[in-house]
Amino acid sequence: MTDIKALEQEIRTAIEAATDEASLDAVRVGAIGKKGSVSALMKTLGKMSPEERQQNGPLFNSLRDGIATAVSAKKDALHNAALDARLASEKVDVTLPTRPLPQGSIHPITQVTDEIIAIFADMGFAVAEGPDIETDFYNFTALNFPEGHPAREMHDTFYMTPDEEGAKKVLRTHTSPVQIRTMMAAEPPHRVIIPGRTYRCDSDQTHTPMFHQVEGLAVDKSTNMGELKWVLEQFCKAFFEVEAVEMKFRPSYFPFTEPSMEVDIRCDHSGGELKIGEGDDWMEILGCGMVHPNVLRNVNLDPDIYQGWAFGMGIDRLAMLKYGIPDLRDFFAADLRWLRHYGFSALDMPNLATGLSR
């Protein structure tokens, strides 16, 4: 009869000696595979007397199970050793420059938004956000648009289907509702810019139903129009990357500011190329003003204690001006050739230290 102890020892030695998963598997097949030595032993049980079977059955079974366990433990050990060896030999140098010609590029609107955020962050402004689908209250009422006022119609508003109470939500027509959300969420002082998507039912070379604005808001006890003008001047110089800009503040009307102004900057259109800061042309770039006392009251701020200023401008328009992009609709046409031409490297984050656009 086979010496079980000797057989087990022999197999265990072979398992220990296996140096890779293939040689280990050969040992496994030779022992507990269909035609293996242990399997052959199991088959002898059939020809034994009941007494012999009762005695040998459990012994053979535990031999087979013990071998199976040893094989699987060795398999894990070999696997881990192989992984350790691979980890030790394969290295990725993350400091290597990426390959030239990276795939994909940054959309000019993302680029310009990042530039705007970099400039205002440098002046101490945080970024605030709000929802694209707004209530009438935030988009109009709280901003001092009286019910039925013609200024509401000027916005070509997209209205949503009315809810059970008949209230119609709107796709926000400007980023100004986030002024209200900002003032309701915390106590002054506030210094925020609010970039985001806005919507109006309008479409031609310079208008698309969805477009982008950036809003600015500062509220505290002492801020004033001088600060507003200084901030806007700093912004224009930094954004257009010029030493000086000349700005004209024209009286205008917005329900949520008093006084209200529109701002033009001096530019030169002659020679086919737009130059900012020189020439005889003026171009409107934004609306602004001192926050209307009614707006402050609507958010429970006492206009005798607090004052604020705000501005709003079109991001897409700024992108068109700075990067000489003639048609606004192309921004949203998802044309790869256009993106390759006007897009920016994904690796250049705009910042003031190294230059915004390079």
The footprint of ligand DAH (CB under 6 A) covers 174, 176, 215, 254, 257, 287-289, 310-312
Residue 82: CB atoms within 10 Å: 12
Minimum gap (Å) between residue 217 Cβ and ligand DAH: 7
For residue 262, the minimal CB distance to ligand DAH (Å) is: 8
Between 267 and 310, CB nearer to ligand DAH: 310
Closer residue to ligand DAH (CB): 114 or 215: 215
Nearer to ligand DAH, 195 or 287 (CB): 287
Residues whose CB is less than 8 angstroms from the CB of residue 182 and which lie 6 or more positions away in sequence, other chains included: 128, 190, 192, 194, 217
Contacts of 168 (CB under 8 A, 6+ apart): 136, 159, 160, 161, 162
Distance of closest approach, residue 179 Cβ to ligand DAH, in angstroms: 7
For ligand DAH, the closer CB: 176 or 208: 176
Measured from the CB atom, the residue of 155 and 169 that comes closer to ligand DAH is 155
Minimum Å distance from CB 197 to ligand DAH? 13
CB nearer to ligand DAH: give 309 or 331: 309
Q: Of 311 and 344, which CB lies nearer to ligand DAH in the complex structure?
A: 311
Q: How many CA atoms lie within 13 A of 106 on its CB side?
A: 17
Question: Least separation, in Å, of the C-beta of 280 and ligand DAH?
Answer: 26
Residue 267 beta carbon to ligand DAH: minimum distance, rounded to whole angstroms: 21
With respect to ligand DAH, which residue has the nearer C-beta, 134 or 215?
A: 215
In angstroms, what is the minimal distance from the CB of 316 to ligand DAH? 13
Q: How far is the CB of 295 from ligand DAH (least distance, A)?
A: 10
Q: Measured from the CB of residue 309, what is the shortest distance to ligand DAH in angstroms? A: 7
Distance linking the first and last C-alpha atoms of the chain = 87
Q: Which residue is nearest to ligand DAH (CB)?
A: 312
Where residue 324 falls (left for φ over 0; alpha for ψ -120 to 50; beta otherwise) is left
Taking the least distance from each CB to ligand DAH, the nearer of 44 and 252 is: 252
